[in-house]
Amino acid sequence: MKKKDITSPEALATTARAPVVVIMGHIDHGKSTLLSYIRKSNKPLNEAGGITQHISAYEVEHTNKEGKKHNITFIDTPGHEAFGGIRKRGAHVADVAVLVVSAEDGVKPQTLDALKSIKNSETPYIVAINKIDKPGADIDKTKQSLTENEIYIEGYGGDVPVVAISSKSGEGIPDLLDMITLVAELGELKGDPNILGSGVVIESNRDIKKGISATCLIQNGKIEKGMFVVSGVSISPIRIMENYLGKPINDATFSSPVKIIGWDELPIVGDAFQAFQNQKEAREAVGVEKEKRASEVSTSKNTEVNENMYYIPLVIKADTGSSLEAVLSEIKKLSTDRVDTKVLSAGIGPIGESDVRLADGTEKAILIGFNVKVDAPAKALADRNAIEIEIFDIIYKMNEWLKETLTNRTPKQKVTEVQGRAKILKIFSHVKDRQILGGRVDKGAISLGSEVRILRRDAEIGMGKIRELQRQKNETKEVAEGREFGAMIASSVEIAPGDYVESFIVKYE
């Protein structure tokens, strides 16, 4: 295949291509169930706790009412807020978005977050009102909820297509697929099968047996065995390529999700990829990217550490690139004005001995694993060196644990609380560091045994302690606001009439 410039006149797109559709919406509104029904499969998707936690891509064939067949590629995106970055990427690579809203719950915060991603990417979208078979379903109320949140559907002052469906029974789903193909046809989607393939990495992971793999969505052109693909500074020969069913294939073209196995480095989820005819051209592209990144690093100064902040060091391992992104996103949200996390390392794959050794450095980091296992030698080493390892398979449980850990490890802060302020009226005697004086409490109260700050013209000149305290020549433990008193204050500073003393206590919170 002769390499062509994608921008040249002879490389203009000439062939209709299948739409790429992203399913988005609030958690538990039925996105994955919908996709399972469309795929005509009862097999559960890759979920934990009922939450989709990766991007998955599937190809289906839909036959419309006229008997015409249409291919559609679906991308399933997580609904949990921690996976917001993944959802945004899903919208950016899709031609059509389906915003799923429950007929029971109506619009929820993550519905609006998903909508924002769709609108920012200027992706045409369809609203699917799901769960219409539920006892608490109210389609009209849900449509009103959409309007109240400025989602203007057809029949309610807008032009956004809306379809009522049940992802469990399948009611309305053929209508939804018809609407998807109609919206796609209006977009006049085209591709050129004669140019070198390009697209986006939508998932990546590291397998002990297979090595590094990446799921790539081809947006234009064609890729085939014998070529090389580059994404960022990662490169892979196309020797092992699978379709969405995991079956080996020799070639693929636009709108198809493919898994390419054999990368030298883990590609970053969301990065573009480009195919090359030979290794030399691919290596040159990697070299250009490395030089670019080195230049960016040299001009960046974002490694400053706040000396007043307490940092909890972490070593992070996740099963896929999108999971890792979500974990890091959650961790960033947890910082406060007093405590923050410091990620020493973040990677893909099981927790190994090298991760434990890194955590066992001078800072004693916590090892956090998401959907990964711990190698037996690594666990033994961690046990010997008392390195904490925490494994999670649900993002919000990890989030809750991290919040509690940061709270428990936040160092106590010294807080000075002023109890009272008194003006010194007269000095009766002064022997060494003991001064007997009279005064009046202007604010709060002063008490026997309390520490005091000595102020002169609002400037602190020293510290002292109330050793004796009297009220009308009778010993007392406390003198309230507005009352005069006599006191013995121990201080190395000579106190004068007109000075003020502030009594205070020190607390740790």
Is 9 a domain residue?
A: no
Closest CA to 503 of 442, 412, 457, 414: 442
100: containing domain: 18-188
Residue 57 tokens read as 């891509």
Distance CA 394, CA 398 (A): 7
290 within some domain: yes
Q: What is the pLDDT of residues 278-296, one digit of tens each?
A: 999 999 999 998 888 777 6
Average pLDDT, the chain: 84
- Do 181 and 128 share a domain, yes or no? yes
Number of separate domains in the chain: 4
Indicate the residue among 409, 425, 450 that finishes a domain.
409
Residue 436: its pLDDT value, please? 95
Note whether 39 and 162 are same-domain residues.
Answer: yes
Same domain for 152 and 205, yes or no, is: no
Question: Are 422 and 335 contained in the same domain?
Answer: no
Question: Same structural domain for residues 144 and 184?
Answer: yes
Q: Tell me the two tokens of residue 453.
A: 């700050």
Q: How confident is the model at residue 509 (pLDDT cuts 50, 70, 90)?
A: low
Residue 220 CB contacts under 8 Å (≥ 6 apart), including other chains: 6, 13, 191, 192, 195, 197, 198, 199, 254
* CATH code of the domain in which 55 resides: 3.40.50.300
For residues 335 and 264, membership in a common domain is answered with no
**49 in the same domain as 150:** yes
> Bigger pLDDT: 438 or 65?
438
pLDDT at 271 over 90: no
**118-167 pLDDT tens trace:** 888 888 999 999 999 999 899 999 999 999 988 999 988 889 999 999 98
Instruction: Look at residue 86 in the predicted model and tell me its pLDDT.
Output: 55
- Over residues 344-366, mean pLDDT: 86
DSSP state of 208: T
320 pLDDT tier (thresholds 50, 70, 90): confident
Cβ atoms 327, 318 nearer than 8 A: yes
- 394 in a domain, yes or no? yes
Q: Regarding beta strands 310-318 and 366-370, do their DSSP bridges make them parallel or antiparallel, or are they unpaired? A: parallel
**Under a CB-based contact definition with an 8 Å cutoff, are residues 312 and 409 in contact?**
yes
Same domain, 393 and 318: yes
Which range, of 329-338, 371-380, 412-421, averages the lowest pLDDT?
A: 329-338
Residue 470 forms part of a structural domain: yes
In this structure, the answer to whether residues 385 and 457 fall within a common structural domain is no
Q: Say if pTM beats, i.e. exceeds, 0.85.
A: no
pLDDT at 338 over 90: no
Range of lowest pLDDT (38-47, 198-207, 439-448, 469-478): 38-47
Q: Which residues contact 117 (CB under 8 A, 6 or more apart)?
A: 24, 84, 87, 88, 90, 91
Rounded Cα distance between 210 and 203, Å, is 15
104, 137 contact by CB (below 8 A) = yes
In a domain, 305, yes or no: no
Q: Can you tell me the distance from the alpha carbon of 44 to that of 33, in angstroms, rounded to the nearest whole number?
A: 8
Going by the DSSP 8-state scheme, the letter that residue 265 receives in this structure is: S
- The sign one gets for the Cα dihedral 169, 175, 176, 178 is positive
Q: Is residue 263 part of a domain?
A: yes
Read off the pLDDT of each residue in 14-28 and give the average, rounded to a whole number.
84
Does one domain contain both 451 and 482? Answer: yes
pLDDT of residue 103: 92
Q: Residues 353, 377: one domain?
A: yes
Kindly state whether residue 193 falls inside one of the protein's structural domains. Answer: no
The DSSP call for residue 412 is P
CB-CB contact of 481 with 422 (8 Å)? no
381-427 pLDDT, tens digit per residue, is: 999 988 999 999 888 888 888 888 887 777 777 778 889 999 999 99
- Of residues 229 and 247, the one with the higher pLDDT is 229
Q: What is the mean pLDDT of residues 350-374?
A: 87
| Token pair of 362 as six digits | 């001078």
Which pLDDT band holds residue 262 (cuts at 50, 70, 90)?
very high
Does residue 5 fall inside a structural domain?
no
CATH number at residue 278: 2.40.30.10
**Last residue within a domain, chosen from 168, 188, 208:** 188
Distance CA 34, CA 131 (A): 10
Contacts of 83 (CB under 8 A, 6+ apart): 53, 77, 322, 326, 395
Same domain, 182 and 93: yes
Residue 228, classified by CB atoms within 10 Å of its CB into exposed (0-12), middle (13-18) or buried (19+), is: buried
Provide the pLDDT for residue 78.
Answer: 55
Q: What's the pLDDT at 19?
A: 94
Out of 251, 274, 299, a domain closes at 299
